[in-house]
Amino acid sequence: MLRPSAHSRRLVPTRRGLVALAVLAVGVIVLGDLAIRLAPAGTHVAAWWPAAGLAVAVGVRFGRRGLPWAAVVTYGASVVANQLGGRPLDTTLLFSLANTLEVLVTASLVLRWVGRRPMLTVRDLSGVVAATLLGAGAAGAVAAVAVGMHTDGSWWVTARAVSTSHFSAVLLFLPFALERERRRPRARRLEVVLTGSGLALLTVALFAPHQSLPVVFMLFPLLVVTAFRQTLRTCALQLVVVNTVATVATSLGWGPIHAAVSVSGIPLETAGAVLQALIASSAATVYVLRVSVETRLQALADADRARRHLGAVIDAAPSTAIIQTDLDGVIRVFNAGAVNLLGYPAEDVVGKHTPELFVAREELRQRAEDVGVTRGFEAMVHTVRTGLLESDRRDWTYVTAAGVRRRVSQVVSRVDDADGTPMGFLAIAEDVETQRRVEQLLVQSLEQERALAERLRAADALKSDFVTSVSHELRTPMTSVLGYSELLVDDFGDVLGPGGRPIVERIQANGRRLLALVDDLLTLSRLESGSLTLKHEPFEVAWVARSAVAVLQPLARASDIGLALHLPEESTTVQGDPQEMERVLINLLSNAVKFPPAHGRIDLTVRRRDLWSLEVEVRDTGVGIPAADLDKVFTRFHRASNVVESQAQGTGLGLAIVKAIVAKHGGTLSVESELSRGSTFVLALPTTVAPELPADAPAPMDTSEMRDVVRRVAQQMASGTRARPSALTGLEQPDQPQQHEQPQQATGS
Ligand code: ADP
C-alpha cells in the first residue's frame, strides 16, 4: 500500500493505498454522518461510532510507517462528518482529534503487540483487547474534554458513552485488518448464511418497537455456535450486523434497552453505552471461545501429528518388538517388529492377550517365584509396577506362533500419563540370538583375516630374506667376475687381441648391470625390512641438491640438456640421512637426464612449502609418462610402456627405493607428467627449525672429484647402468677393480 518516494525516504501510497485512503475518507464521512444523525435526540454523542473501527482497521493495514497517512485522512474525514452532522466547529475539531488519537494509539499498539497475524492465541486476543481499550479510553477522554469545555453535558457520561461506542466498533472491525486463519472453518457456506440470517432476524425481533422484555440473551446460543464453527471474520461480520440492527433500533427508541433506560430516568447516552457494552462483551466472549477452540484444534492437530510420527517410528523398527499393554497386561500396541519376531498377526493379540502368551512357561514360573508373585504377567512387570526399578532389562525366551524358541533381550518400563498416573507397560525386545550369531561370525572372520595377514607377513619376511641372501650370494662372484675381467683387459689386453677385447668389455658391461640390479635389490629389501638404519641428523637440503646437480651437470651438458638449480634464501634444514637424500636426488635427476628429448631442460628447485615443510621439485621436459603408468611408476620393476618401447636401460627399482627413503624421512613423493612434454617429481619433507644457511657454506665437492664422477657416470650410461656416486661420502676411482667390492658406490636403478 506504500512505497518509498523516488526523491526521499518518505513512504508514499501506491495505487491500492490511495484507494484504501479514499475508502477510509468516504467511509468515515458516511458512517460518521449516519451515526450522528442516529444519535438519540438530546444526546451529545452517537450511540455507536463504526467509523472508529474502520479507521483503526485501515491504520493497522497501513502498518507502522504508513499509519500517519491513515491518521491524517481520519482527522479530515471526521471534521467533514461532524460538520455535516451539524456539530459546532470547536466540538468538531476536538472530536476529530479524539478519533485520530484513537487510530494512532490502537493501531500502533496492535502492530507492536500482535502484528497482523490472525488472532489465534489468548496472548494475541489480550493484546488486541488491551490496545482497543487504551485507544477507546483515549478517545473517550478527549471527547469528554470537548463536551465539558463547550457544552453543558456531563463529561463522565460522555467519556463512558464514547469509550464504549468506540471500543465495540474497533473490536468488531479489527478482525478484518488481521490476516485470515489458515485452517478451513468447520461450517459450510449454507450454515454461515443460515446462522447469519437467523441472528439478523432474531435481532430484529428482539429490538422491535414495543419490545420491552430484556430477552437479548437469546442471541447467545447462535453467537456461540458461530464461535465454534466459523472463522473470526465471519463472527465479527455477524456481530456487525447484530450491532447495526440493534443500534438503529435503539436510536429509534425501540427495543428493550431503550425501554429500560427511559423508564429508569438515567441519561439517554446510557442506552447507547449499555447496548455497546452488551455488544462488546458478546464480541469478547465470541473471540475468547474462538481462540480457545482454535487452541484446542491446534493441540489436537499437534497430538495427531505426534501420534502419527510415533506410529511411524514404532513401525520403522522391523527387527525390534515394541509391545504396549494396559495395567492388566492386555496388549494395546503390537508393532511390525513384534509381528516379525513372534509370527502373530497384530489383530490376533491386540486387546485379546497378555505377553504371557509368548514367554516360555518355565522361565515365567521361575521369575514369579523369584519376585514372589503368582501371575505370569506380574512376574514380568513387578519391579517396574512397584517402582523398584525404572526399567527392567533381562533376557527371556520367546516362543513364536510356530513354536520356535528365540532368546530376546527385553526392557520393560512403566508408562504414565501426563499427571503421573500409571497407564500401562511398554516392553521393547530384540532378538539377541541373531545378533550374537552375527557377532560371533564377525569375530571369526576377523580372526581369520588376522591369521591370513600374519601368514602374509611371514611370507613377505621370507621373501625379503630370500632376496637378501640371494643378492648377497650373487654379489661376491659378480664383483669377482668384474674385477678379473678388468684385470684381463688391463694386463692381458695384448693376448686377447682385437677380437677378444670387445667380448671381455661386453662381459664387464653386463656384469656391472647385474651388480647394479643386485645392489638395488639389496637396498630395497633392507629398507623394507628395516635393517638399513638411516642417520638422523640435521642437514641442509640445499647442500645435498647442489651436490646432486654437480654430479649430474656434466652428463646433462654432454646430452645438451640445461640443468638449473634454484635454491631459496632461507634455511632448508631437515632431519635425516644426507647421503640417502642425495641418493634420492641423484636418482630423480638421472631419470630426468636418461629420458630426455634432445636439448631438453631440467630444473631442480628447493622451496619452502609452509612453516613445517619444504618442497624439492625435479622438473624435466623429457618424454613424459603415459597416464596409464603414472600411478605405477613407484612400484617395483614397473617401467612405463614408452620407456620399454624405446629400449632405455633400467631395472624399474630406482623410484621404489626413492619412495622408501623419502617415507623414512617422514616425507611424500608425487609425480605429474604429460606424455612427450615432461615430468615433475615433487618431494615434500618436514623441516626442523635450524639456523640460517651460512653465506659461505663450502661447496661439497671439488673440481677433481666432480671430474671423476662425470667420468664414471658417463661410463655407466654407456654400459646401460646409472651411476650412484656419493659426493658426500667421497668417490672411488673407476679404474680400480676393488671399487666393485663397495656395494654403496655402484647403485643405479
Ligand atoms: P628405471 O629408471 O630403472 O626404469 P625407475 O624406478 O627409476 O626405474 O623408474 C621407473 C619408470 O618410471 C621408468 O622406467 C620410466 O618409465 C618412468 N620414469 C621415471 N622417471 C622418469 C622421467 N623423468 N621421465 C619419464 N619417465 C620416467
691 and 615 in a common domain: yes
Helix (H, G, I), strand (E, B), or coil: what is residue 413? strand
Task: Evaluate: CB of 643 within 6 angstroms of ligand 1.
Answer: yes
Ligand 1, atom 2: closest residue by C-alpha? 650
Ligand 1, atom 11: closest residue by C-alpha? 639
**CATH number of the domain to which 547 belongs:** 3.30.565.10
Distance CA 555, CA 573 (A): 28
Task: Evaluate: CB of 287 within 6 angstroms of ligand 1.
Answer: no
Q: Is the pLDDT of residue 697 over 70?
A: no
Q: What average pLDDT does the segment 686-695 reach? A: 55
604 and 574 in a common domain: yes
Q: What average pLDDT does the segment 690-704 reach? A: 43
Name the one residue in this structure whose C-alpha cell is 624399474: 652
Express each pLDDT in 65-88 by its tens digit.
889 999 999 999 999 999 988 888
Task: Evaluate: CB of 620 within 6 angstroms of ligand 1.
Answer: yes
Query: Could you tell me if 615 and 609 are in contact, meaning their C-beta atoms sit under 8 angstroms apart?
Result: yes
Q: What are phi and psi of 98, to 5 degrees?
A: -60, -45
Segment of 465-469, 496-500, 656-660 carrying the highest mean pLDDT? 656-660
Q: What average pLDDT does the segment 429-456 reach? A: 88
Q: What are the DSSP E strand ranges found in 501-622?
A: 537-540, 562-566, 573-576, 601-610, 613-620
Q: Is the pLDDT of residue 717 over 50?
A: no
Could you tell me the distance, in angstroms and rounded to a whole number, from the CA of residue 363 to the centre of ligand 1?
Answer: 74
Query: Is residue 441 situated within a structural domain?
Result: no
Q: Is the pLDDT of residue 720 over 50?
A: no
- Give the model's pLDDT for residue 44: 63
CB neighbour list of residue 680: distance below 8 Å, 6 or more residues apart: 617, 618, 619, 620, 671, 672, 673
Query: Could you tell me if 223 and 199 are in contact, meaning their C-beta atoms sit under 8 angstroms apart?
Result: yes
Q: Which comes out higher in pLDDT, residue 713 or 441?
A: 441
Q: Is the pLDDT of residue 4 over 70?
A: no
Question: What sign results for the dihedral spanned by CA atoms 376, 379, 382, 385?
Answer: negative
Per cent of the chain over pLDDT 90 is 47
Could you tell me the distance, in angstroms and rounded to a whole number, from the CA of residue 620 to the centre of ligand 1?
Answer: 12
151: pLDDT confidence band, cut at 50, 70 and 90? low
Distance CA 679, CA 620 (A): 5
Query: Is residue 749 situated within a structural domain?
Result: no
Q: 601, 591, 599: which is closest to 625 by C-alpha? A: 591
Strand order across the beta sheet in which 320-326 lies: 331-334, 320-326, 422-431, 405-416, 391-399
Task: Evaluate: CB of 640 within 6 angstroms of ligand 1.
Answer: yes
348 and 280 in a common domain: no
Q: What average pLDDT does the segment 446-467 reach? A: 86
Ligand 1, atom 25: closest residue by C-alpha? 624
Ligand 1 pocket, mutate which of 623, 633, 661, 680 (most atoms under 8 A from CB)? 633
- Give the model's pLDDT for residue 240: 93
Ligand 1, atom 21: closest residue by C-alpha? 591
How does strand 405-416 pair with strand 391-399? antiparallel
Q: Is the pLDDT of residue 711 over 60?
A: no
Could you tell me the distance, in angstroms and rounded to a whole number, from the CA of residue 708 to the centre of ligand 1?
Answer: 25
Query: Is residue 435 situated within a structural domain?
Result: no
Query: Is residue 83 situated within a structural domain?
Result: yes
Q: Is the pLDDT of residue 57 over 80?
A: yes
Residue 681 CA, closest ligand 1 atom number: 23
Amino acid in the structure at residue 312:
A
Print the domain residue range for 664.
537-698
Could you tell me the distance, in angstroms and rounded to a whole number, from the CA of residue 110 to the centre of ligand 1?
Answer: 82
Query: Is residue 733 situated within a structural domain?
Result: no
Q: Is the pLDDT of residue 212 over 50?
A: yes
142 to 91, 94, 101, 499, 531: CA distances (angstroms) = 10, 7, 9, 136, 104
CB neighbour list of residue 524: distance below 8 Å, 6 or more residues apart: 636, 653, 656, 657, 660
Pick from 660, 676, 698: which residue ends a domain? 698
Q: Is the pLDDT of residue 702 over 60?
A: no
Ligand 1, atom 14: closest residue by C-alpha? 639
Distance CA 238, CA 654 (A): 97
Residue 622 CA, closest ligand 1 atom number: 24
Task: Evaluate: CB of 511 within 6 angstroms of ligand 1.
Answer: no
687 and 548 in a common domain: yes
Q: Which comes out higher in pLDDT, residue 527 or 288?
A: 288
Q: 90, 193, 186: which is closest to 146 by C-alpha? A: 90
- Within 10 angstroms of residue 384's Cβ, the number of other Cβ atoms is 20
How does strand 601-610 pair with strand 562-566? parallel
- Give the model's pLDDT for residue 8: 57
718: pLDDT confidence band, cut at 50, 70 and 90? very low
How does strand 613-620 pair with strand 668-674? unpaired
Q: Is the pLDDT of residue 743 over 60?
A: no
Could you tell me the distance, in angstroms and rounded to a whole number, from the CA of residue 623 to the centre of ligand 1?
Answer: 10
Ligand 1, atom 7: closest residue by C-alpha? 654
Strand order across the beta sheet in which 613-620 lies: 562-566, 601-610, 613-620, 678-686, 668-674
Q: 62, 168, 67, 171: which is closest to 119 by C-alpha? A: 171
Could you tell me the distance, in angstroms and rounded to a whole number, from the CA of residue 474 to the centre of ligand 1?
Answer: 25
Q: Is the pLDDT of residue 692 over 60?
A: no
Least confident of 247-256, 511-520, 654-663, 711-720: 711-720
266 and 172 in a common domain: yes
- Give the model's pLDDT for residue 484: 87
Q: Which comes out higher in pLDDT, residue 645 or 520?
A: 520
134 and 72 in a common domain: yes
Per cent of the chain over pLDDT 70 is 88
687 and 558 in a common domain: yes
Task: Evaluate: CB of 600 within 6 angstroms of ligand 1.
Answer: no
Q: List 602's β-bridge partners, or say none.
A: 563, 620
230 and 138 in a common domain: yes
Q: Is the pLDDT of residue 745 over 80?
A: no
Task: Evaluate: CB of 651 within 6 angstroms of ligand 1.
Answer: yes
Query: Could you tell me if 404 and 360 are in contact, meaning their C-beta atoms sit under 8 angstroms apart?
Result: no
Residue 641 CA, closest ligand 1 atom number: 16
Task: Evaluate: CB of 623 within 6 angstroms of ligand 1.
Answer: yes
Express each pLDDT in 10-54 by its tens digit.
667 788 888 999 999 999 999 998 888 887 666 667 888 999 999
9: pLDDT confidence band, cut at 50, 70 and 90? low
- Give the model's pLDDT for residue 620: 94
Ligand 1 pocket, mutate which of 594, 625, 647 (most atoms under 8 A from CB)? 625
Q: What average pLDDT does the segment 334-342 reach? A: 92
723: pLDDT confidence band, cut at 50, 70 and 90? very low
Ligand 1, atom 8: closest residue by C-alpha? 652
Task: Evaluate: CB of 591 within 6 angstroms of ligand 1.
Answer: yes
Distance CA 387, CA 374 (A): 18
Helix (H, G, I), strand (E, B), or coil: what is residue 115? coil
**Cell numbers representing residue 220 in the block:** 447467545
Segment of 430-434, 672-676, 699-703 carrying the highest mean pLDDT? 672-676
Least confident of 256-265, 530-539, 587-596, 666-675: 256-265
Q: What average pLDDT does the segment 107-123 reach? A: 91
6: pLDDT confidence band, cut at 50, 70 and 90? low
Q: Is the pLDDT of residue 485 over 50?
A: yes
Distance CA 253, CA 250 (A): 5
Could you tell me the distance, in angstroms and rounded to a whole number, from the CA of residue 644 to the centre of ligand 1?
Answer: 10
Question: What sign results for the dihedral spanned by CA atoms 159, 162, 163, 165?
Answer: positive
Could you tell me the distance, in angstroms and rounded to a whole number, from the CA of residue 640 to the centre of ligand 1?
Answer: 7
Express each pLDDT in 533-549 by its tens digit.
889 999 999 999 999 99
Query: Could you tell me if 327 and 384 are in contact, meaning their C-beta atoms sit under 8 angstroms apart?
Result: no
Q: What are phi and psi of 613, to 5 degrees?
A: -150, 155
Distance CA 171, CA 279 (A): 10
- Give the model's pLDDT for residue 713: 42
Residue 648 CA, closest ligand 1 atom number: 4
**Cell numbers representing residue 225 in the block:** 455456535
- Give the model's pLDDT for residue 5: 64
Task: Evaluate: CB of 622 within 6 angstroms of ligand 1.
Answer: yes
Q: Is the pLDDT of residue 728 over 50?
A: no
**CATH number of the domain to which 380 belongs:** 3.30.450.20
Pick from 698, 720, 736: which residue ends a domain? 698
- Give the model's pLDDT for residue 31: 93
Task: Evaluate: CB of 618 within 6 angstroms of ligand 1.
Answer: no
Q: What average pLDDT does the segment 444-454 reach? A: 92
251 and 130 in a common domain: yes
Distance CA 610, CA 494 (A): 63
Q: 665, 652, 668, 619: which is closest to 722 by C-alpha? A: 652
Task: Evaluate: CB of 602 within 6 angstroms of ligand 1.
Answer: no
DSSP string computed for 471-535: HHHHHHHHHHHHHHHHHHHHHHHHHHHHHHHHHHHHHHHHHHHHHHHHHHHHHHHHHHHT-SPPP
Pick from 364, 399, 416: which residue ends a domain? 416
Query: Could you tell me if 365 and 380 are in contact, meaning their C-beta atoms sit under 8 angstroms apart?
Result: no
Q: Which comes out higher in pLDDT, residue 41 or 434?
A: 434
Q: 727, 733, 732: which is closest to 703 by C-alpha? A: 727
Query: Is residue 471 situated within a structural domain?
Result: no
Query: Could you tell me if 268 and 261 are in contact, meaning their C-beta atoms sit under 8 angstroms apart?
Result: yes
Distance CA 636, CA 520 (A): 10
- Give the model's pLDDT for residue 349: 94
Helix (H, G, I), strand (E, B), or coil: what is residue 394? strand
Query: Is residue 396 situated within a structural domain?
Result: yes
Ligand 1 pocket, mutate which of 513, 527, 655, 657 (most atoms under 8 A from CB)? 655
Instruction: Look at the chain and report how many structural domains it folds into.
Output: 3
Task: Evaluate: CB of 153 within 6 angstroms of ligand 1.
Answer: no
480: pLDDT confidence band, cut at 50, 70 and 90? confident
Could you tell me the distance, in angstroms and rounded to a whole number, from the CA of residue 590 to the centre of ligand 1?
Answer: 9
Q: Is the pLDDT of residue 709 over 60?
A: no
Query: Is residue 689 situated within a structural domain?
Result: yes
Provide the mean pLDDT of the chain.
Answer: 84
641 to 175, 259, 597, 623: CA distances (angstroms) = 84, 116, 16, 11
348 and 262 in a common domain: no
- Give the model's pLDDT for residue 16: 86
Express each pLDDT in 233-279 by its tens digit.
999 999 999 999 998 998 888 888 888 888 877 776 677 888 888 89
183 and 115 in a common domain: yes
Task: Evaluate: CB of 146 within 6 angstroms of ligand 1.
Answer: no
562 and 640 in a common domain: yes
Q: What is the CA radius of gyration of the chain?
A: 51
Q: Output the CA torsion 300→306→309→310 (10° steps).
A: -120
Q: What average pLDDT does the segment 633-650 reach? A: 83
